[in-house]
Amino acid sequence: MLIKFLNHHHILSRSSRYLRSTMVKRSSSTLEVEETASTVRRSTRVTKKAKVTVSEDQIVEQLEVNLVEEKSSKKKGKAKASVGAHVSAAGGVENSVLNAAKIGANAFALFLKSQRKWVSPALKESSIVSFKTLMKEHSYSPKQVLPHGSYLINLGNPDAEKREQSYTCFLDDLKRCDALGLELYNFHPGSTLGIVEPSVSMTHIAESINRAHRDTPGSKVVVVLENMAGSGNVIGSDFAQLGEIIRQVEDKSRVGVCLDTCHMFAAGYDIRSRDGWNVTVQSFDTNVGLEYLRGMHLNDSKTECGSKKDRHDNLGVGHLSIQAFAHILTDPRMQDIPLILETPSHEETSKNWNVWSKEIEVLNGLSSGETDLDSLMQDIRDVIKAAGGGKAKAKKAPARKGKRGKKSEEAEESEEEEG
């Protein structure tokens, strides 16, 4: 924000409300800022020793950013959280923006290329231009977008040749983020494949991140490690492992973590109660650091706590319950990061994304302080039933094999072992 920019130049403001009350006027050589609600003397303090010089272009650029964020806030309601889903980018990455807007999301995730191929065609220049244009038109900022990496990537692979193949794919994703003007990149850390100790794979992962940072000089893209459910030999189900990887990363301004609720629960972190949630957050802060939290995946779980199975379910339908998400959406520590649904969309039967639209509506309600959880839960069950999801009325009904966003349930468990 402009206030932060001015703070850096020793100008302090008491509140962002003064920014909203300013008028920007151009003169022949300067850009003047006038307060319409109060005088500058009452709202700012300038040190006598420092002379502040701020260029016109810098101020205009920052005001444009502020305007986009303010428009986004007004357009998408008063919800405090940035909530969305992992939407399709079929036909071009620019379509992900349109798909996010269709479901009322104020944040979203996407695949930058095929998640099942090592090599994909380069992004078309027309797609890059369209993506950036649509981002502005629909008032999305880069910090609200959390791209997901290829499932093939395993930077912890003990085989040097295969690890290099993963690195090439990984680096390509980072460069695509740069081209699109995005700031975050989420990926699964990797696996030991049962060949080496976890510490060896964690070092491989950290070294790959360091190398990628060196190979993308000037980039602002933050590499975001995802916590995992814990099946097989995957790295990242234990917060301590994520913390150790980050400890070995040289540029810590370009590394972070995305917490998946289903993965946490499957790994043994019981977040169903508020106390359980707070204990889990404290554990994360101790082992990793809350300053590294850059996003979350909001998914219920088809399996019980500690199952080590990654089986996503719709909000409130699984073992986590809607109450768990109420804790998260009202936690001020989770407010300024993208919160992304990867729940079953039921689009294969409904031919629409009404389930995601409803889940986003419910999450926004929770964020705004809605307390009638039974009513919210019934809303989700009704829309799932209308979409053809026959399991909505019973948690233990046989799981139907279908899409979870763009991923099948059968692939979910094996994803943690690929590479």
Q: Helices in 299-339 by DSSP H: which ranges?
A: 322-329
Catalytic residue among 163, 297, 319, 404, which?
Answer: 297
Residue 151 a catalytic site member:
yes
Catalytic residue among 138, 163, 263, 319, which?
Answer: 263
Neighbours of 291 (CB within 10 A): 9
Residue 215 a catalytic site member:
no
Residue 185 a catalytic site member:
no
Residue 214 a catalytic site member:
no
**For residues 268 and 280, what is the distance between their CA atoms, to the nearest angstrom?**
10
Catalytic residue among 94, 183, 244, 260, which?
Answer: 260
Query: How far, CA to CA in Å, does 25 sit from each of 29, 35, 63, 163?
Result: 11, 11, 13, 55
Catalytic residue among 94, 173, 183, 226, which?
Answer: 226
Catalytic residue among 86, 138, 148, 381, which?
Answer: 148
Helices 322-329 and 373-386, interaxial angle, to 10°? 120
Q: Are 49 and 11 in contact (CB under 8 A)?
A: no
**For residues 365 and 371, what is the distance between their CA atoms, to the nearest angstrom?**
9
Catalytic residue among 86, 138, 188, 213, which?
Answer: 188
Pairing of strands 222-226, 184-187: parallel
Neighbours of 244 (CB within 10 A): 19
The C-alpha angle with vertex 308 and arms to 302 and 313, in degrees rounded to 5, equals 20
Residue 342 a catalytic site member:
yes
Residue 331 a catalytic site member:
no
Residue with tokens 């094996």: 414
Helix (H) or strand (E) holding 225: strand 222-226
Residue 140 a catalytic site member:
no
Residue 56 a catalytic site member:
no
Residue 226 a catalytic site member:
yes
Catalytic residue among 94, 244, 313, 342, which?
Answer: 342
Helix (H) or strand (E) holding 81: none
Residue 213 a catalytic site member:
no
Catalytic residue among 140, 151, 185, 292, which?
Answer: 151
Q: Helices in 181-273 by DSSP H: which ranges?
A: 198-215, 239-248, 261-266
Catalytic residue among 86, 176, 204, 312, which?
Answer: 312
Catalytic residue among 300, 310, 313, 359, which?
Answer: 310
Catalytic residue among 35, 69, 116, 400, which?
Answer: 116
| Residues with catalytic function | 116, 148, 151, 188, 226, 260, 263, 297, 310, 312, 342
